[in-house]
Chain A
Amino acid sequence: MKEQLRTEKWSVYLKQQDKRLRVITETDLKIKTGEIIGLIGESGCGKSVFWKSVLGLQNPAVWELEGNAWIRGEMVNFQNPEELRSMRGREAAVILQDPMSSFDQVFTIEQHFWETAKAHTNWSRKETAEKAVELLRRLYIREPEQVLQMYPFQCSGGMLQRIMIAIALMMEPAVLIADEPTTSVDVTVQREILSMLKELNQKQQTSILYISHDLRAVESISDYVYVMYAGYVVESFPVSRLKEENVRHPYTQKLLEARPSFTKKRLPVLQGRPPELMERQSGCPFAARCPMADEACKTFDMKKTAISENHMVRCRKQEGLS
Chain B
Amino acid sequence: MRKYIIKQILMIIPTLLIVSIVAFGMIRMLPADAVETYMLANHLEMTDENIAMVEEKFGLHEPVVTQYFSWVSAVLHLDFGESYTSNQEVADMLWKAFKATAQLAGAAMLWIVVLTPVLGIFSAKKPNGWMDGFTRMFCLMGTAIPTFVLGFFMIRLFGVQLKILPVSGKESWMNYIMPSFALSLAHISSFVQMLRNEMLENKKGAFTLYANARGIKEGVVFRTHILKNSMLPVVNTVGISIGRLIAGTVVIENVFSWPGLGQLITKAILARDYPVIQAYILLIAIVFICANLIADLLSAWVDPRIRLGEKG
Question: Is the CB of B212 closer than 8 A to any CB of chain A?
Answer: yes
Question: Is the CB of A88 closer than 8 A to any CB of chain B?
Answer: yes
A153 near B206 (CB under 8 angstroms)?
no
Question: Is the CB of A154 closer than 8 A to any CB of chain B?
Answer: yes
Question: Is the CB of A142 closer than 8 A to any CB of chain B?
Answer: no
Contact with A along B291-308 (1 / 0, CB 8 A): 000000000001111001
Complex alpha-carbon distance, A153 and B312, angstroms: 8
B207 near A151 (CB under 8 angstroms)?
no
A96 near B215 (CB under 8 angstroms)?
no
> Which residues of the partner chain A approach B211 to less than 8 Å between Cβ atoms?
104, 115
> Which residues of the partner chain A approach B305 to less than 8 Å between Cβ atoms?
105-106, 151, 153
Question: Is the CB of A85 closer than 8 A to any CB of chain B?
Answer: yes
> Given that A96-B210, A102-B206, A115-B224 are known contacts, is A85 also in contact with B215, CB under 8 Å in the complex?
yes
Among A93, A94, A102, find the residue whose CB has the most chain B CB atoms closer than 10 A: A102
> Which residues of the partner chain B approach A55 to less than 8 Å between Cβ atoms?
213
Which residue in chain B gives the minimum CB-CB distance to A89?
B215
Among A102, A104, A116, A120, find the residue whose CB has the most chain B CB atoms closer than 10 A: A104
> Which residues of the partner chain B approach A116 to less than 8 Å between Cβ atoms?
214-216
A89 near B205 (CB under 8 angstroms)?
no
Nearest CB of A to B216, in Å:
5
Contact with A along B198-219 (1 / 0, CB 8 A): 0000000111011111111110
Partner of B213, one of A86, A94, A120, A151: A94
Q: Which residues of B from 141 to 174 have beta carbons under 8 Å from A?
A: none
Q: Which residues of A from 205 to 264 have beta carbons under 8 Å from B?
A: none
A106 near B206 (CB under 8 angstroms)?
no
Total A-B residue contacts, Cβ distance less than 8 Å: 81
Q: Which residues of A from 91 to 115 have beta carbons under 8 Å from B?
A: 93-94, 96, 98, 101-107, 115
Chain B, interface size category, equals: 20 to 34
Nearest CB of A to B213, in Å:
5
Complex alpha-carbon distance, A154 and B207, angstroms: 16
B220 near A115 (CB under 8 angstroms)?
yes
> Given that A96-B206, A119-B217 are known contacts, is A57 also in contact with B212, CB under 8 Å in the complex?
yes
Complex alpha-carbon distance, A54 and B205, angstroms: 20
Complex alpha-carbon distance, A104 and B207, angstroms: 6
> Which residues of the partner chain A approach B206 to less than 8 Å between Cβ atoms?
96, 98, 101-102
Partner of A88, one of B213, B225, B229, B311: B213
Q: Which residues of A from 153 to 167 have beta carbons under 8 Å from B?
A: 153-154, 167
B303 near A88 (CB under 8 angstroms)?
no
A interface, by DSSP: helix, strand, loop or mixed?
mixed
> Given that A153-B305, A154-B312 are known contacts, is A102 also in contact with B217, CB under 8 Å in the complex?
no
Question: Is the CB of B232 closer than 8 A to any CB of chain A?
Answer: yes
Which residue in chain B gives the minimum CB-CB distance to A168?
B214
A119 near B304 (CB under 8 angstroms)?
no
Question: Is the CB of B228 closer than 8 A to any CB of chain A?
Answer: yes
Complex alpha-carbon distance, A63 and B220, angstroms: 23
Question: Is the CB of A302 closer than 8 A to any CB of chain B?
Answer: no
Which residue in chain A gives the minimum CB-CB distance to B205?
A101
Q: How many residues of A contact B (CB 8 A)?
A: 27
Question: Is the CB of B49 closer than 8 A to any CB of chain A?
Answer: no
Question: Is the CB of B310 closer than 8 A to any CB of chain A?
Answer: yes
Complex alpha-carbon distance, A295 and B214, angstroms: 47
Complex alpha-carbon distance, A107 and B221, angstroms: 12
Question: Is the CB of A87 closer than 8 A to any CB of chain B?
Answer: yes
> Which residues of the partner chain B approach A88 to less than 8 Å between Cβ atoms?
212-215
Q: Which residues of A from 33 to 48 have beta carbons under 8 Å from B?
A: none
> Which residues of the partner chain B approach A87 to less than 8 Å between Cβ atoms?
215
B213 near A96 (CB under 8 angstroms)?
yes
Q: Which residues of A from 64 to 106 have beta carbons under 8 Å from B?
A: 85-90, 93-94, 96, 98, 101-106
> Which residues of the partner chain A approach B303 to less than 8 Å between Cβ atoms?
106
Partner of A89, one of B214, B218, B225, B232: B214
B209 near A115 (CB under 8 angstroms)?
no
Nearest CB of A to B268, in Å:
46
Q: Which residues of A from 255 to 308 have beta carbons under 8 Å from B?
A: none
B216 near A89 (CB under 8 angstroms)?
yes
> Which residues of the partner chain A approach B232 to less than 8 Å between Cβ atoms?
106
Nearest CB of A to B187, in Å:
24
Complex alpha-carbon distance, A134 and B98, angstroms: 59
B210 near A102 (CB under 8 angstroms)?
yes
Nearest CB of A to B126, in Å:
11
**16 A-B pairs with C-beta separation under 8 A:** A55-B213, A85-B218, A94-B214, A101-B205, A102-B209, A104-B211, A104-B228, A105-B304, A106-B228, A106-B229, A106-B302, A106-B305, A115-B211, A116-B214, A119-B215, A151-B308
What would 20 more interface pairs be, CB under 8 Å, given A88-B212, A94-B210, A98-B206?
A55-B213, A86-B215, A87-B215, A88-B215, A89-B215, A90-B215, A94-B213, A96-B206, A96-B213, A102-B206, A102-B207, A104-B229, A105-B304, A106-B229, A106-B232, A106-B303, A106-B305, A115-B211, A119-B215, A154-B312
Closest 9 CB pairs of A and B: A89-B215, A88-B215, A89-B214, A102-B210, A101-B206, A104-B207, A94-B213, A102-B206, A119-B216
